[in-house]
Amino acid sequence: MATATGSAASDTSSPPIGAFDERLREEAATAGRAALDAALQRFTAEQRDAFWNAIGLYYSTRRHPGANEAAATPAI
């Protein structure tokens, strides 16, 4: 039943909250990656490679936030 404010009509015309959150996450990830890439440009190629190797080692040791959830997820 619609109310006097017309909330029932607005519920069908707006995108789902999950889609909005996903779009914001994608935009933030893109902006963050661009900022990181710009910051890393002051280093040599070897230093950038060492940085990304360290990131890979960090995540491969599963000592990062969310590691417990990733470990609990079965591999496909």
Residue 56 resides in a domain: yes
Name the range with the highest mean pLDDT among 11-25, 26-40, 58-72: 26-40
Residue 38 resides in a domain: yes
Residue 32 resides in a domain: yes
Tokens matching residue 28: 């933030």
For residue 32, the model assigns a pLDDT of: 94
- For residue 6, pLDDT beyond 90: no
Residue 21 resides in a domain: yes
Tell me 1's DSSP state: -
Percent of the residues in the chain that have a pLDDT greater than 90, as a whole number = 39
Provide the pLDDT confidence category of residue 64 given band limits of 50, 70 and 90: low
- What is the domain count for the chain? 1
Domain interval for residue 50: 15-65
Helix, strand, coil percentages (3-state) for the chain, rounded to 5, are 70, 0, 30
Tell me 20's DSSP state: H
Residue 4 resides in a domain: no
- For residue 3, pLDDT beyond 60: no
Residue 19 resides in a domain: yes
